[in-house]
């Protein structure tokens, strides 16, 4: 079937059997690398993307269920030349070891910051619970989220002051 | 079906009945304060008594209601949503200021048996003293010993947020007059000691009826419908008697497995509030859990049927492994949903999926799909199932992935494909209603 | 599309002119790979050579470094990036000794056609051997450049200096770029051992936390991993195996399979089977359909029971490890204990993946294996090709922490591609295949008897360790699953232990402490119930856990501080320094009990007794009602010699610490008599965000001018030991069998 959806702000049309998980469409058809296959069971979060603004496991999202829906992947947050705030924070904190989980981590974290730009440590930990990291980079990830939160805060602060 | 109670009507009837009750029961409204005692030293309790209390407290699952999300165990402050508003559980650590540190055993016993706090105020029946009243003193002493040897935590629970008027605790005296039936659990001398032990635990400390017995408009358990199914935190607590649609497929062994591991071969995983219950029971001695299983099994079917139950478990009405979704009646009834199912659910629930080849139950065994009411199936798909310890059957929630219509389609398809039950009506509306409930 | 970081080559340029040059420079003194071949410590190829081990077989400088006319350096290393940051650190080493800005240096890692064969990237050897070799090669190149620049600047060599900008300056201020000099110079000369290295005081790049080269791509979705590679015409494969090791699956007939819609090809050779499709999802779908068939255990039940029950019932070979006997005072206290750990999964977040392409009689394999040259050896052997017809290229995968499915999947892909010449084939294992088939970290048991005299000196130390293999790394087709499955099967070799000083199950079984009497014995179990191989720190994890737990048990029996007992028995100054620095930073001496179920613990080891020193201190609280441990504070002190990238070291130690906590408190491969029953993250939970320590700090001791020691595995043993010790301090209960799981702790602690 042909599915038309909005990926990172652009309308994309793909031809795939409707059961194909969004993950495979993103990676193989749209050549977006960020979302990763980790378990295919919704247990590790490596495939996390945003669907209509909410963090979801793309490995469990059939493409047939995404008709006309909005998908945001890590690529939608910025580029190497112009990284998004959270991406830059991950670079600044050197928040990766192997980095396989990181795309999912950033997308999960972004969904928190979208809702709550100033989360506490406890809120961050609770929110990040669905995503697994095997290298033990958790502290750097938490620091990166807090750094991004601080940047957002200072930007908002400036906005208020002007 | 969850009772959708108009809170105004409820309030009126509750108040009326309560006031009427209180008039008759004026005498029991007043309960004197029991003098505070110095906190007993942990060393003053016999370690064997404490260990016994630990087991009993697990059967009673005290920790679940008396621990806030991410909070210290037994320090209370967990929000307990009820049709009458939100209650916050008490701190039952032995902290003298904010917990039960200066409660004597007599005070503790009165709370458990009569629902009256040490200071004489009436406790809300969120503390299931309707059941605890049946617990014998020896067991109460052990639980007291256990609780008084916990680490004291200083923590005050938030103020209850109840419907207007219900904050007036003396009303509770009237409620108790109607619903609190004190006295020991009755024994059936014709039955085995194990069965009687199970009955005692189920009726008393286990307070299974707290969820599995329907409640009336005043929030009291309908004793005549004991264990015929109730509702808890938006999930149906299925009937634990013959009316359970899967009754013929439960037996002592599968109940024991289910209660201790949260999963049983030929059945689904414990979802919603049953998850923590199973986790608690996983730490209880096998004999007591076995007793509970024996008693519940006997409630689910006549004793003569028990023997052959085990064999029926093996032959499910439909065996998922032998089903090819492409040619089934479900595909015909739900065109296009087979692919939705394959993409969203197939990774775990289709033949050849890792869950299936490693012995997790097939969907044809899942009770939620067989119930007359789709609520639990909907909740499982929306919220998923998360084992509290991280180990055990898990399912991610699909609330953010699928629309109401898609979930309804999937469930309709799964019911047709994996069971012989008739289709659920108005599924989309149900999904949408339950999603709204969950959002609150 | 190829990975963007230019770490790999395409076959086109491999076959072009560059290939010849490379072949020439790599034809070193010997066709053998570098001395540091694997998990073992190198013995040195030529005893007379003063060159670092990895340089000995590849002494020509152009095998390691080339400089183009524009003055950019290209550095070649046989070591590979596993997420440990080695690529960045090695680049820093080269940049420092070349005295060039890092941005003018690029690095090519593990590629059988382009880089030296430095054996495995494992055993914390990469800095110790790879870094040391590269450093000397770079120093040689710098010296040659300087020497060649003298006549060009018409001056005396002695007055020249490098500027750090990739130029050489004369005393009068005139300068010349490396590119211009290099154009006049052949680097096809052998390295000299006695070339002066740059001195720490003048370091410009080493010792600085250069940001990792690979992180910007990884946080923005660049092609960073082998899983991300897309080649023109690439097919997708899934291998068809029973749910777990030791089982067989009954498949439908070939005709039936070949009729399945979406299938491009069904590849079968003996018990090996794979489906290949144009679309990845079709391959997954068909794989599932086939897995719905019957599977059963091939032969013999898996023994069940405790780890000790299982292991001690198996045939073992006995190896004496350490025997020391001295007269001592009479013993007054005797303690004995048994410690154990279960089988662990490497638990890579990304299941193993490989791409292979057969074209014109030559096979190219892209793999994330730790031993890219072994990937070539295995494939050549499996497919009966000569090694020069197989080109293996390393591309990053998810963190592996040892031998996971990487080597197996590479051989699988090679076999499939060989059957389908002309098109590249990408194969990724499924999550459950990784859990079901990868070699596990071995379950182990130790038994210790120790005695103290009246002065709290340890007078007796009897130690026994039982372990299945920790090193079954393949070097030919007999070490991979596909080799065992094909019609003309390659039967698995007899497993042998790694000799000391590295050891495998025996690694770190000989305490570094100065003990007057020691009797340490290793009982090597050649065939365990599961396939097992290297996992981060190998046997050192349980050996350090056991030794350090027993030290605390002894200190407790003696009524003295655990740190005191350790220092009383430690004579190595650097070991003492690490313990004391860590204790100071943690506030060990001023620690105060904060009530019941709260405690402190420490654990120390020098990895392999010849690598990095690491001491971990923990402050924990444990909730007896749930069995959950909260690590309030973790502090690690580490001495890994000269530090190239301090932040990289901290990242490794911190990550190792968290991973070790996860092993120690949560992890265990579950199984029944038929198979491994851990197949996903719900049956093999690991630590999640809620469970990681509240605070972690890593102190890296400055050791300017000391040799590199490697750091990746240093914190595994000490952390688990520190946790057991803190738990005993907090509860009075000694837990000796991992995992110290919430269920186990709750059971033991709730009635306390």
Show the domains of chain B with their CATH numbers. Answer: 7-179 (no CATH), 193-314 (1.10.760.10), 320-439 (1.10.760.10)
Instruction: Supply the pLDDT for residue B331.
Output: 62
Instruction: Supply the pLDDT for residue C18.
Output: 39
Percent of chain C with pLDDT over 70: 94
Cα angle A83, A84, A89 (rounded to 5 degrees) comes to 90
Alpha carbon distance C612, C633 (integer Å): 22
Strand blocks (E) in B144-208: 161-162
**Cβ contacts (< 8 Å) between C257 and chain B: which residues?**
none
Contact C743 B392 (CB under 8 A): no
Instruction: Supply the pLDDT for residue C123.
Output: 80
**Based on the domain organization, do C178 and C287 belong to the same domain?**
no
In a domain, C497, yes or no: no
Reported as a single tens digit per residue, the pLDDT across C192-201 is 999 999 999 9
Reported as a single tens digit per residue, the pLDDT across C36-90 is 457 777 765 444 568 998 999 999 999 999 999 999 999 999 999 999 999 999 9
Residue B428 CA from chain centroid, whole number: 26
DSSP-derived 3-state class of residue A98 = coil
Contact C243 B358 (CB under 8 A): yes
Position C16 pLDDT exceeds 60 = no
Give the orientation angle of helix B404-418 with respect to helix B427-439, to 10 degrees: 120
In a domain, C243, yes or no: yes
Q: Is-contact C76 C108, C-beta < 8 A?
A: yes
In a domain, C664, yes or no: yes
**Based on the domain organization, do C415 and C540 belong to the same domain?**
no
Range of the domain at C275: 226-297+347-437
Position B430 pLDDT exceeds 90 = yes
**Based on the domain organization, do C204 and C236 belong to the same domain?**
no
In a domain, C91, yes or no: yes
Helices (DSSP H) in C590-681: which residue ranges?
646-665
Position B101 pLDDT exceeds 90 = yes
**Based on the domain organization, do C42 and C179 belong to the same domain?**
yes
Residues in B lying within 8 Å of A, measured between beta carbons = 70, 336, 338-344, 346-348, 354-355, 384, 394-396, 398, 400-403, 406
CA-based nearest distance B324→chain C, Å = 10
**Cβ contacts (< 8 Å) between C666 and chain B: which residues?**
390
Instruction: Choose the closest CB to B391 out of C291, C595, C682.
Output: C682
Instruction: Supply the pLDDT for residue A155.
Output: 86
C145 CB-contact burial (10 Å; exposed 0-12 / middle 13-18 / buried 19+): buried
Which residue of chain A comes nearest to B391, CA vs CA? A43
Position B328 pLDDT exceeds 80 = no
**Cβ contacts (< 8 Å) between C714 and chain A: which residues?**
none
Percent of chain B with pLDDT over 90: 56
Contact A61 B344 (CB under 8 A): yes
A-C contacts at Cβ under 8 angstroms? 182
Contact B400 A54 (CB under 8 A): yes
Share the mean pLDDT of chain B.
85
Q: Is-contact B265 B395, C-beta < 8 A?
A: no
Contact B54 C291 (CB under 8 A): no
Position B8 pLDDT exceeds 80 = no
Position B53 pLDDT exceeds 50 = yes
CA-based nearest distance C506→chain A, Å = 25
Residues 6+ apart with CB under 8 A from C494: C526
pLDDT greater at residue B4 or residue C388: C388
Instruction: Supply the pLDDT for residue C22.
Output: 45
Instruction: Choose the closest CB to B406 out of A41, A59, A65.
Output: A65
CATH of the domain at C26: 3.30.365.10
User: Could you read off the pLDDT tens digit of each residue along chain A, which spans 162 residues?
Assistant: 899 999 999 999 999 999 999 999 999 999 999 999 999 999 999 999 999 999 999 999 999 999 999 999 999 999 999 999 999 999 999 999 999 999 999 999 999 999 999 999 999 999 999 999 999 999 999 999 999 999 999 987 754 443
Residues of chain A with CATH 3.10.20.30: 2-76
Place of tokens 């180990």: B391
Q: Let me know if domain A85-161 sits in CATH 1.10.150.120.
A: yes
Q: Is-contact C345 C667, C-beta < 8 A?
A: yes
- H or E element at residue C635: strand C628-639
Instruction: Choose the closest CB to B73 out of C285, C596, C623.
Output: C623
Instruction: Choose the closest CB to A40 out of B70, B347, B394.
Output: B347
In a domain, C607, yes or no: yes
Contact C219 A46 (CB under 8 A): no
**Cβ contacts (< 8 Å) between C430 and chain B: which residues?**
354
Q: Exposure pattern of C527-538 as b/e (b: 16+ CB <10 Å)? A: ebbbbbbbbbbb
**Based on the domain organization, do C281 and C200 belong to the same domain?**
no
Contact A65 B344 (CB under 8 A): yes
Alpha carbon distance B226, C41 (integer Å): 71
Whether the link from the prior residue into C739 is cis, omega within 30° of 0, is yes
**Based on the domain organization, do C210 and C234 belong to the same domain?**
no
Instruction: Supply the pLDDT for residue B17.
Output: 53
**Based on the domain organization, do C376 and C285 belong to the same domain?**
yes
**Cβ contacts (< 8 Å) between B325 and chain A: which residues?**
none
Contact B342 A60 (CB under 8 A): no
Best of A17, A65, A124 to mutate (most B CBs within 10 Å, chain B): A65
Q: What is the mean predicted confidence (pLDDT) over C624-632?
A: 94
The pair of three-digit structure tokens given for residue B226, joined into one six-digit string: 């004991």
Alpha carbon distance C432, C438 (integer Å): 10
Contact A51 B400 (CB under 8 A): yes
Reported as a single tens digit per residue, the pLDDT across C568-590 is 999 999 999 999 999 999 999 99
**Based on the domain organization, do C457 and C593 belong to the same domain?**
yes
Instruction: Supply the pLDDT for residue C6.
Output: 36
pLDDT greater at residue C303 or residue B276: C303
Contact C689 A138 (CB under 8 A): yes
DSSP-derived 3-state class of residue A158 = helix
Position C19 pLDDT exceeds 80 = no
Instruction: Supply the pLDDT for residue C320.
Output: 97
Which residue of chain A comes nearest to C683, CA vs CA? A43
Share the mean pLDDT of chain C.
93
Domain stop point among C193, C215, C237: C215
Nearest C-alpha neighbor of C430 from the set C229, C286, C284: C284
**Cβ contacts (< 8 Å) between C218 and chain A: which residues?**
96, 99, 102-103
Alpha carbon distance C669, C127 (integer Å): 32
Instruction: Supply the pLDDT for residue C11.
Output: 34
Best of A1, A23, A41, A52 to mutate (most B CBs within 10 Å, chain B): A41
Residue C128 CA from chain centroid, whole number: 13
**Based on the domain organization, do C267 and C362 belong to the same domain?**
yes
Instruction: Supply the pLDDT for residue B223.
Output: 83
Instruction: Choose the closest CB to A98 out of C82, C228, C681.
Output: C82
Reported as a single tens digit per residue, the pLDDT across C416-450 is 999 999 999 999 999 999 999 999 999 999 999 99
Whether the link from the prior residue into B78 is cis, omega within 30° of 0, is no
Q: Let me know if domain A2-76 sits in CATH 3.10.20.30.
A: yes
Nearest C-alpha neighbor of C675 from the set C342, C247, C290: C247
In a domain, C486, yes or no: no
**Based on the domain organization, do C364 and C448 belong to the same domain?**
no
pLDDT greater at residue C735 or residue B266: C735
C441 CB-contact burial (10 Å; exposed 0-12 / middle 13-18 / buried 19+): buried
Residue A159: count other Cβ atoms within 10 Å of its Cβ: 8
pLDDT band at B248; cut points 50, 70, 90 = confident
**Based on the domain organization, do C690 and C727 belong to the same domain?**
yes
In a domain, C485, yes or no: no
Helices (DSSP H) in C305-405: which residue ranges?
307-312, 372-383
pLDDT greater at residue C151 or residue B220: C151
CA-based nearest distance B54→chain C, Å = 6
Which residue of chain A comes nearest to B399, CA vs CA? A56
In a domain, C317, yes or no: no
Contact A41 B348 (CB under 8 A): yes
Reported as a single tens digit per residue, the pLDDT across B22-51 is 555 555 677 899 999 999 999 999 999 999
Contact B396 A43 (CB under 8 A): yes
Contact C350 A100 (CB under 8 A): yes
Residue C338: count other Cβ atoms within 10 Å of its Cβ: 16
Domain count for chain C: 3
Instruction: Supply the pLDDT for residue B366.
Output: 86
């Amino acid at each position: 079937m042909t599915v038309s959806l909005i990926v990172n702000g652009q309308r994309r049309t793909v031809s795939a059997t409707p059961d194909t998980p969004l993950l495979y469409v993103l990676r193989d058809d749209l050549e977006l690398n960020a979302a990763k296959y980790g378990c295919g069971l919704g247990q590790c979060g490596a495939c996390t993307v945003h669907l209509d603004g909410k963090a979801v496991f793309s490995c469990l999202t059939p493409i047939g269920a995404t008709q006309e829906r909005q998908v945001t992947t890590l690529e939608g947050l910025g580029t190497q030349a112009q990284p998004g705030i959270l991406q830059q924070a991950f670079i600044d904190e050197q928040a990766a070891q192997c980095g396989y989980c990181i795309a999912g981590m950033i997308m999960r974290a972004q969904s928190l910051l979208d809702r709550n730009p100033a989360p506490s440590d406890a809120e961050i930990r609770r929110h990040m619970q669905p995503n697994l990291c095997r290298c033990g980079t958790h502290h750097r990830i938490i620091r990166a989220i807090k750094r991004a939160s601080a940047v957002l805060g200072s930007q908002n602060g400036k906005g208020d002051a002007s | 079906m969850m009772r959708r109670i108009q809170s105004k009507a409820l309030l009126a009837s509750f108040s009326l009945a309560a006031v009427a009750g209180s008039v008759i029961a004026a005498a029991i409204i007043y309960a004197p304060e029991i003098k505070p005692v110095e906190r007993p030293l942990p060393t003053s309790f016999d370690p064997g008594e404490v260990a016994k209390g630990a087991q009993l407290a697990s059967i009673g699952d005290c920790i679940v209601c008396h621990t806030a999300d991410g909070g210290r165990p037994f320090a209370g402050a967990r929000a307990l949503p009820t049709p009458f508003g939100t209650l916050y559980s008490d701190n039952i650590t032995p902290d003298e200021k904010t917990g039960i540190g200066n409660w004597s055993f007599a005070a503790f016993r009165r709370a458990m048996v009569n629902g009256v706090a040490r200071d004489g105020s009436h406790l809300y029946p969120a503390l299931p003293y309707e059941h605890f009243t049946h617990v014998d003193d020896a067991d109460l002493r052990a639980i007291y010993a256990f609780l008084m040897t916990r680490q004291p935590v200083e923590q005050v629970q938030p103020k209850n947020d109840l419907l207007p008027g219900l904050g007036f605790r003396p009303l509770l005296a009237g409620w108790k007059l109607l619903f609190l039936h004190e006295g020991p659990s009755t024994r059936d001398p014709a039955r085995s000691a194990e069965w009687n032990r199970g009955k005692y635990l189920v009726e008393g400390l286990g307070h299974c009826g707290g969820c599995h017995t329907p409640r009336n408009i005043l929030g009291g358990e309908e004793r005549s419908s004991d264990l015929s199914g109730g509702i808890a935190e938006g999930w149906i607590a299925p009937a634990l008697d013959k009316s359970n649609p899967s009754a013929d497929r439960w037996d002592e062994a599968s109940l024991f497995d289910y209660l201790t591991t949260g999963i049983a071969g030929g059945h689904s995983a414990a979802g919603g509030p049953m998850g923590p219950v199973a986790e608690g029971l996983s730490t209880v001695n096998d004999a007591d859990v076995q007793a509970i299983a024996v008693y519940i099994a006997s409630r689910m079917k006549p004793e003569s049927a028990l023997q052959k139950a085990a064999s029926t478990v093996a032959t499910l009405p439909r065996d998922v492994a032998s089903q090819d979704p492409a040619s089934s009646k479900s595909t015909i009834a739900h065109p296009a949903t087979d692919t939705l199912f394959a993409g969203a659910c197939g990774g775990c629930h289709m033949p050849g999926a890792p869950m299936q080849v490693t012995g997790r139950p097939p969907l044809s065994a899942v009770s939620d799909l067989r119930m007359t009411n789709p609520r639990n199936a909907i909740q499982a798909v929306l919220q998923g199932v998360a084992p509290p310890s991280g180990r055990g059957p898990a399912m991610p929630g699909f609330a953010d992935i699928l629309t109401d219509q898609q979930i309804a389609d999937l469930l309709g398809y799964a019911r047709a494909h994996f069971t012989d039950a008739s289709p659920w009506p108005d599924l989309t509306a149900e999904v949408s209603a339950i999603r709204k409930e969950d959002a609150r | 599309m190829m990975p963007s970081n230019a770490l790999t080559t395409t076959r086109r340029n491999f076959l072009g002119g560059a290939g010849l040059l490379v072949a020439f420079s790599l034809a070193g003194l010997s066709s053998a790979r570098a001395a540091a071949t694997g998990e073992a410590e190198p013995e040195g190829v030529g005893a007379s050579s003063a060159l670092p081990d990895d340089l000995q077989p590849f002494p020509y400088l152009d095998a390691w470094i080339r400089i183009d006319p524009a003055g950019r350096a290209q550095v070649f290393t046989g070591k590979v990036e596993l997420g440990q940051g080695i690529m960045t650190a090695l680049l820093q080493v080269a940049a420092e000794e070349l005295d060039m800005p890092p941005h003018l240096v690029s690095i090519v890692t593990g590629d059988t056609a382009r880089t030296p064969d430095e054996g495995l990237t494992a055993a914390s050897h990469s800095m110790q051997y790879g870094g040391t070799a590269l450093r000397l090669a770079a120093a040689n190149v710098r010296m040659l450049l300087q020497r060649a620049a003298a006549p060009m600047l018409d001056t005396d060599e002695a007055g020249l200096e490098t500027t750090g900008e990739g130029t050489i300056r004369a005393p009068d201020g005139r300068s010349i770029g490396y590119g211009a000099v290099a154009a006049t110079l052949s680097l096809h000369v052998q390295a000299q051992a006695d070339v002066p290295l740059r001195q720490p005081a003048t370091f410009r790049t080493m010792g600085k936390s250069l940001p990792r080269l690979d992180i910007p791509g990884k946080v923005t979705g660049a092609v960073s991993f082998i899983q991300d590679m897309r080649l023109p015409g690439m097919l997708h494969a899934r291998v068809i195996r029973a749910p777990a090791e030791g089982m067989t699956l009954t498949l439908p007939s070939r005709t039936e399979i070949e009729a399945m819609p979406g299938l491009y090809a069904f590849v079968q050779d003996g018990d090996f089977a794979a489906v290949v499709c144009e679309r990845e999802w079709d391959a997954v779908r068909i794989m599932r359909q086939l897995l719905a068939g019957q599977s059963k255990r091939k032969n013999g039940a898996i023994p069940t029971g405790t780890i000790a029950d299982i292991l001690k019932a198996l045939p073992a070979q006995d190896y004496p490890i350490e025997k020391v006997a001295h007269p001592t005072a009479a013993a007054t206290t005797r303690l004995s204990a048994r410690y154990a750990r279960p089988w662990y999964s490497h638990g890579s977040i990304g299941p193993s993946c490989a791409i292979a392409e057969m074209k014109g009689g030559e096979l190219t394999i892209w793999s994330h294996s730790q031993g890219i040259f072994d990937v070539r050896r295995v494939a050549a052997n499996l497919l009966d090709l000569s090694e020069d017809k197989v080109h293996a290229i390393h591309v990053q995968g998810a963190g592996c922490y040892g031998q996971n499915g990487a080597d197996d999947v590479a051989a699988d892909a090679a076999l499939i591609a060989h059957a389908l010449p002309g098109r590249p084939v990408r194969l990724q294992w499924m999550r459950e295949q990784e859990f079901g088939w990868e070699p596990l970290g071995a379950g182990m048991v130790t038994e210790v008897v120790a005695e103290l005299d009246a002065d709290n000196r340890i007078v007796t130390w009897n130690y026994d360790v039982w372990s299945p293999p920790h090193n079954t790394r393949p070097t030919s087709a007999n070490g991979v699953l596909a080799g065992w499955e094909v019609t003309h099967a390659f039967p698995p070799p007899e497993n042998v232990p790694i000799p000391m000083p590295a050891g495998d199950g025996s690694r770190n079984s000989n305490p570094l402490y100065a003990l007057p009497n020691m009797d340490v014995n290793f009982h090597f179990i050649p065939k365990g119930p599961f396939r097992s191989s290297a996992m981060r720190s190998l046997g050192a994890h349980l050996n350090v856990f056991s030794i350090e737990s027993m030290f605390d048990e002894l200190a407790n029996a003696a009524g003295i501080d655990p740190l005191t007992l350790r220092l009383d028995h430690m004579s190595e100054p650097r070991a003492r320094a690490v313990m004391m620095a860590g204790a100071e930073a943690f506030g060990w001496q001023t620690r105060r009990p904060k009530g019941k179920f709260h405690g402190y613990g420490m654990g120390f080891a020098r990895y392999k007794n010849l690598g990095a020193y690491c001491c971990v201190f923990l402050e924990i609280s444990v909730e007896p009602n749930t069995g959950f441990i909260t690590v309030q504070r973790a502090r690690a002190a580490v001495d890994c010699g000269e530090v190239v990238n301090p932040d990289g070291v901290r990242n490794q130690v911190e990550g190792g610490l968290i991973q070790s906590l996860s092993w120690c408190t949560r992890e265990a491969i579950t199984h029944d008599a038929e198979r491994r029953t851990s197949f996903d993250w719900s049956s093999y939970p690991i630590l999640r965000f809620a469970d990681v320590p509240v605070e972690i700090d890593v102190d890296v001791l400055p050791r300017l001018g000391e040799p590199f020691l490697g750091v990746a595995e240093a914190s595994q043993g000490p952390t688990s030991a520190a946790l057991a010790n803190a738990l005993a301090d907090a509860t009075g209960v000694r837990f000796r069998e991992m995992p110290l799981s919430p269920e186990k702790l709750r059971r033991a602690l709730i009635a306390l």
